[in-house]
Chains A and B, each alone.
Chain A
Amino acid sequence: MSVILEARDLQKSFGAVTAAADINVSVESDTVVGLIGSNGAGKTTFLNIVTGYLKPTSGSIYFDGRDITSLGPRQITRLGICRSFQIPQLFDTLSVRDNLLVGVGIVASAGGSWRHAANTDSEPAKAVETMLARFDLQSYRDMSAGTLPEGIRKLLDIAMAMVAQPRILLLDEPTSGVSAEEKFALMDLVMEAVRNQKVTVLFVEHDMEIINRYTHRVLAFSEGRIIADDEPEVALNDPEVRKYIIGETLHVKRRDSHATA
C-alpha cells in the first residue's frame, strides 16, 4: 500500500498553548484511521492544518508526495482532500438538494465551464440524485438545511464533503449530536459510500465503540502529541491511552460481544 498523506514534524502553538508537537504520521491509502483524544488534545487542530485552514508553526504536510503546507482550504479541496465539520457547515436557507447542487456545480465548473445551467435532466442534477440516494437523503431533498434534525445535518455535511469525490475524507466527530440508536446507521451509510468510492478516511471520534468497529488504525492525541499509533485493539488497551483518554473503567473487549449481539 502506498502512503497518501504524510505529516512531518508538525508544530503548532497559539501563544503559550501548544496545539500540536512532533506530529509525524504516514497514512496509507484505502485505510480508515481514527483520531482519539480528550477535548483540546489537538485532533481538530490536526484536521485544520491538514486542510490548510491553519498554517503550522513549523513542519510540513505531503499529499501523494507533494508538499501542500502552503496551500489554503480551497486548493487542498481541489487536490482531493475534503472534510466534514463537528458543527455541520451547511447552506441553511437552501434545500438539501440545492446544498448538494452547489457542490456538484463547483466540481463541474472546476474544469473551466461555468456555463452549464442546471435543468432537471442535466448531468449535475443526476449527480445530486446519486448523492441523495447514496446517503439515504431523498425524503429530505426539498427541506431547507436549516430545519433538518441534527443527525440528518451531520449526514448532509458528510455528503457535501463527498460531492467532490475526494481521495481523502476527514470527518470531525461524525456522530457527535447523533442519538445512540442512530449513530451506527449513520456510520454504516458513510462507510458504505466511502467503500464505493475508494476513499481514505481519517475521523475524529469520542465514541470508542465507533472507533473499534470502523477503524483499521488509531491515533491517540494528548496535549498536542500522538501518544499511541496502532491497531484499535492495541491502541485502546494502551495504558497511557486508558489513563488520559478512555478512562480506566472502559473495557474494549466488551465491545466485541456488543458487536456480535
Chain B
Amino acid sequence: MRIDRTIIVLTAAMAALLAFTPFLPNWAMFLFTVSLCYGVVVLGMMLLVRTGLVSFGHGLYYCLGAYAAGTLEPLFGITELAVMIGSAVAVTAIVSAILALLLRKYRDIFFAMLSLAFSMILYGLLVKTSSLGSTDGFNVTVKTLFGLHIADTAYERYLIFALTVLICWTCAVLMHFYLKSHRGRLAEAIRDNELRVEYMGASVANTIHLHYVMSAVLAGLGGALMAVSVGHIDPEMAYWTTSGEFVFITILSGTGSVLAPFLGATIFESIRSFAYEYSPNTWQMALGITMLMVIMFLPGGLWSLFKRASRRVA
C-alpha cells in the first residue's frame, strides 16, 4: 500500500516540532502551542463546515474543555494532566451529545445563531460565578503527568508541549482517515443535498449529530490544552468573538485537508503576535480585510493556493 502524503507531512511536522522546539526561544514554543490548540479546534470546525454547518458558538466547547480541565484542582484537588484532558473530552462529549439532539434540526444561520446562544449562556453563567473568578478567571495548576511529577521542573513546559503535539497529530491522522471513509464522505454530500442523502438510505440527522460531537470534543481538547499550556483561563473563551476567531481561521484555512487548519492557525497566531506588538489597534481591521479577500477571491481558503502550487510542480 502506498503511504498517504498527508500522513507523511503530518508526521514530519510532528517530528520537527518535537526535535527543534527545545532549541527555539520561549516565544516560539508559545506561538506553536497556541497555534496547535487553535488548530485542533479548527480541525473540528472544518468537519462541520464540510457538513455545511457554520457554528458561531464553538467557544462553548473550547471554554467548557478548559474549565472541565481547570476546575478539577479547585473542586477535587486533582492535578494530573492526563485526567484533566480526559475530563475535558468527557464533559464536552456529553454536553454536545445532548445539545446536538436539538441543534441537528437546524441549518444555516439558525444553526449559527442557536450555537451562539448556547455559548453565551455559558459565558453568562461564568462571568457571574465568583468562586471561579468571574470575568478574571483563575489559574490552572498541573502537577503530574501519568503520575510523574512535572511541576516546576526544567522539562515541564516541554512535556506539555510534546503532549499537545502528540494529541494534535493523533486527531489530525484520525480525522484524515475519517474524511476518506464512507461516513466521512457523507459530510460534503449532506452539505450539497440532504434530500438525496436520505433518499440513498443514510441518516442526515445521525451524521450531523456525530460530526457535531466530534467537533465539540476537538474544541474541548483545544481548550484544555490551552488551559494547561497557558496556565490561566477566563470566560472570554466562551464569548462569541472567540467563536468568531475560529470561524475566521476555518474560512482562511479552507477545508481541503487536515493540514489546512494547523497551517491557518499558525499563520493567524503569527500575524496576531506580530500585530499586537506593533499595531494593536489595526489588528482586527487587517483580519476583516483578509477575510473579505478570502471570501471574494479565494473561496477554497489558503489551502487552495497550496494545492494549486503543488499541482503546478507535479
A and B, direct touch (CB closer than 8 Å): yes
Q: Decide if B182 touches A124 in the complex (CB within 8 Å).
A: yes
List residues of chain A with CB within 8 A of the CB of B307: none
Residues of chain A from 62 to 87 with CB closer than 8 A to chain B in the complex: 72-74, 77-78, 82-83
| Given known contacts A105-B185, A117-B177, A118-B180, A92 and B198 CB-to-CB distance under 8 angstroms | no
- Given the known interface contacts A117-B181, A118-B180, the answer about A164 and B192 at a Cβ–Cβ threshold of 8 Å is no
Q: Which residues of B lie under 8 Å from residue A106 when comparing CB positions?
A: 182, 186, 197, 200-202
Contact for B185 among A101, A115, A161, CB less than 8 A? A101
Complex contacts, A101 vs chain B, CB 8 Å: 185
* B196, CB-defined interface residue at 8 Å: yes
**A214 contacts the other chain (CB 8 A):** no
Closest to A110 in B: B201
Task: A102 to B191: give the CA distance in the assembly, Å.
Answer: 13
Across chains A and B, the number of contacting residue pairs, with CB separation under 8 Å, is 81
Q: Give the distance to chain B from A250, nearest Cβ to Cβ, in Å.
A: 34
CB pair B199 A51 closer than 8 Å: yes
What is the CA–CA distance of A72 and B203 in the complex, to the nearest angstrom?
A: 11
Chain B residues with CB under 8 A of A91: 188-189, 192-193, 196
Check if B183 is an interface residue, CB within 8 A of chain A. Answer: yes
Q: Which of B138-195 contact A (CB under 8 A)?
A: 177, 180-183, 185-186, 188-189, 191-193, 195
Chain A residues in 8 Å Cβ range of B201: 74, 77-78, 106-107, 110, 164
Q: Which residues of B contact A117 (CB under 8 A)?
A: 177, 180-181
Q: A192 CA to B198 CA in the complex, in Å? A: 26
User: Quick check: is A138 within 8 A (CB to CB) of the other chain?
Assistant: no
A87-101 vs B, CB cutoff 8 Å, 1 = contact: the mask equals 001111110001001
Within the complex, the shortest CB–CB distance from A171 to chain B, in Å, comes to: 13
Residues of chain B with a CB closer than 8 A to A98's CB: 185
B contact residues, total (Cβ < 8 Å) = 22
The size class of the interface chain A forms with chain B is: 35 or more
Q: A90-B193, A91-B193 are in contact. Are A73 and B182 (CB under 8 A)?
A: no
B288 to chain A, nearest CB (A): 27
Q: How far, in angstroms, from A108 to B186 measured CA to CA in the complex?
A: 13
Q: Say yes or no for A109: interface residue by CB 8 A criterion.
A: yes
Determine the distance from Cα of A243 to Cα of B177 in the docked complex, in whole angstroms: 60
The interface residues of chain B, by DSSP majority, are classed as: helix
Roughly how many angstroms separate A72 CA and B192 CA in the complex, as a whole number? 20
Known A106-B186, A114-B181, A114-B183; judge A89-B195 contact (CB<8 A).
Answer: yes
Chain A residues, Cβ within 8 Å of B186: 102, 105-106
When C-beta atoms are compared, the residue in chain B nearest to A51 turns out to be: B199
Instruction: List CB contacts (< 8 Å) of A92-142 with chain B.
Output: 92-94, 98, 101-103, 105-110, 114-119, 124
B199, A93: Cβ atoms closer than 8 Å: no
B189 near A74: Cβ-Cβ < 8 Å: no
**A93 and chain B: residue at smallest CB distance:** B192
A90 contacts across to B, CB distance below 8 A:
192-193, 196
Is A114 a contact of B182 with CB atoms below 8 Å?
Answer: yes
Closest to A99 in B: B189
Query: Complex formed: what's the CA distance from A133 to B189 in Å?
Result: 22
Q: A89-B193, A90-B193, A91-B193 are in contact. Are A102 and B180 (CB under 8 A)?
A: no
| Structural contact, B200 and A102, CB atoms closer than 8 A | yes
| Known pairs A91-B192, A92-B192, A92-B193; A102 contacts B185 (CB<8 A) | yes
Residue of B nearest to A89 (CB): B196
A74 and B189 CA atoms in complex are apart in Å by 15
Instruction: State the CA gap A94–B193 with chains docked (Å).
Output: 11
Q: Mark B55-68, 1 if CB is under 8 A from A, else 0.
A: 00000000000000
Kindly identify, within residues 189 to 223 of chain B, every residue whose CB is under 8 Å from any CB belonging to chain A.
Answer: 189, 191-193, 195-203
| Minimum C-beta distance from B192 to chain A (A) | 4
Contact of A73 with B199 at beta-carbon distance under 8 Å, contacts A90-B192, A92-B192, A93-B188 already known: yes
Which residue of the partner chain A has the closest CB to B4?
Answer: A117
**Extra 8 A-B pairs, beta carbons < 8 Å, given A74-B198, A90-B196:** A74-B202, A78-B201, A91-B189, A91-B196, A94-B192, A101-B185, A105-B186, A114-B183
Interface residues, chain A, with chain B CB atoms under 8 Å away: 51, 72-74, 77-78, 82-83, 89-94, 98, 101-103, 105-110, 114-119, 124, 160-161, 163-164
Closest 9 CB pairs of A and B: A105-B182, A91-B192, A77-B201, A89-B196, A106-B202, A114-B183, A109-B182, A102-B189, A78-B201
